[in-house]
Amino acid sequence: MNFEKYPFERLTELLQDIIPNEKYELSALTIGEPKFETPQFIQDKLKETSSLLKKYPSTIGEPFLRESMINFVKTRFNVSLQMNQIIPSFGTREVLFNFPQFALFNKKNPVIAFTNPFYQIYEGAAIAARAEVIHIDLTKENNFKANLSDEDLKRCDLVIINFPNNPTSASMSIEELGSWVEKALKYDFILVNDECYSEIYFDEKTKPASLLEASLLVGNESFKNILVMNSISKRSSAPGLRSGFIAGDEQILKEYLQYRTYVGCASPVPLQEAAAVAWNDQEHVAGFRKIYKKNFEIANEILGTPIPDATFYIWLEVEDELEFTRNLYKEKNVKVLPGSFLGRNGLGKGYIRIALVENEIKTRDVLTRLKDFIDG
């Protein structure tokens, strides 16, 4: 398999010959990893249940974990799921990689489409599945929203969209998502929305909708051809718990569950215990949202960038993203990610991605450095 280098490996190569300005402490705005402590009640649950390491975890997950995820979906999206409509996963990265291989295995000439620029695991899954790729280009001209021609959709076996979007921070309305559900039914392809940023929003009136909600909106009550993925990594500042899920079409999930028994990605029971209390609690998530909103307010004040509906990313337009990244690191000891490392066919060129995952004080300091660099 010929996988492309991961963006962070490419960034290391880009910056390897640069000596940064030692006047400043290094600030890395590159990785979408929250820099906040995992809430204490989650940590306590993990400690309290460590004796359960003596048990083999089941592939399907403990009932209490699935119930907590179902409760989350009901509380957040007002969608009622049955036990056979959800499968816990070891975060979303593993399921985003292995689900396409499962779904496309029996296709003679498989075709997968996904948003571009993108989380690189989508491309890795396509390579592993030997699938032809159709890119769903997200551009300033289309407001970074997903659209694909009927001719391309007719060829697709699997489509992965990602809203709220990494890296552009764009969101799609429930009606826009609903039109994608209708296309998935009309052209009979599996439609997946990677929703791991759904909980990092800043206004109750504009909080992101789920593809599951959109499915119900257009009358697809069985979620035929429709799946969503989500995780607690961002919402609970707990990426190390590796707790995610895939939910939707029970017929697809029934076969996928059998496949997963061979994959060996079952989560240890103590991690499931800690994840369950996180999924069941919404209050701590609201606290994190306030932090991220404040960071965007600081960015708006310093850089003039708009506050998006969701995510913790700024997709900042620059003249030459590679030179910008190199010179910013050299002069201000700040690392950002060139947008071209996240896209194909020229998408992402002329942008950098900034992850606002630090506290208010660090965010103000580093964005001030960034502004000073831009003003030159």
Tokens of 368: 């001030």
Can you give the pLDDT at residue 3? 87
Can you give the pLDDT at residue 1? 77
- Angle separating helix axes 269-280 and 40-48, nearest 10 degrees: 150
- For the cut 80, the answer to whether the pLDDT of residue 265 exceeds it is yes
Q: Residue 54 and residue 304: Cα distance in Å, rounded?
A: 53
Q: Residue 348's closest CA among 367, 324, 369?
A: 324
Q: Residue 19 and residue 289: Cα distance in Å, rounded?
A: 35
Nearest 5°: phi and psi at 168? -80, -15
For the stretch 279-309, pLDDT in tens is 999 999 999 999 999 999 999 999 999 999 9
Can you give the pLDDT at residue 2? 84
Tokens of 63: 């009932």
For the chain, the domains span: 7-37+284-375, 51-281
Nearest 5°: phi and psi at 158? -145, 135
Can you give the pLDDT at residue 177? 98
- For the cut 90, the answer to whether the pLDDT of residue 79 exceeds it is yes
Q: Are 310 and 171 in contact (CB under 8 A)?
A: yes
Which amino acid, 237?
S
The average confidence (pLDDT) of the chain is 97
For the stretch 165-175, pLDDT in tens is 999 999 999 99
For the stretch 46-58, pLDDT in tens is 999 999 999 999 9
pLDDT tier, 193 (very low <50, low <70, confident <90, very high otherwise): very high
Q: Residue 289 and residue 297: Cα distance in Å, rounded?
A: 12
For the stretch 318-343, pLDDT in tens is 999 999 999 999 999 999 999 999 99
Q: What average pLDDT does this structure show over 62-81? A: 98
Which amino acid, 303?
L
Q: Residue 295 and residue 305: Cα distance in Å, rounded?
A: 11
DSSP-derived secondary structure for 22-53: TTS--EE--S----SPPPHHHHHHHHHTGGGG
Which amino acid, 47?
K
Q: Residue 129 and residue 212: Cα distance in Å, rounded?
A: 26
Nearest 5°: phi and psi at 123? -65, -40
- For the cut 80, the answer to whether the pLDDT of residue 258 exceeds it is yes
| DSSP for residue 235 | T
Can you give the pLDDT at residue 376? 85
- For the cut 90, the answer to whether the pLDDT of residue 80 exceeds it is yes
- Provide CATH code, domain 7-37+284-375: 3.90.1150.10
Q: Are 159 and 144 in contact (CB under 8 A)?
A: no
| Residue 117, phi-psi category: left (phi > 0), alpha (psi -120 to 50), beta (remainder) | beta
Q: What average pLDDT does this structure show over 225-242? A: 97
Tokens 């208010």 locate to 360
* CATH T-level topology, domain 51-281: Aspartate Aminotransferase; domain 2 (3.40.640)
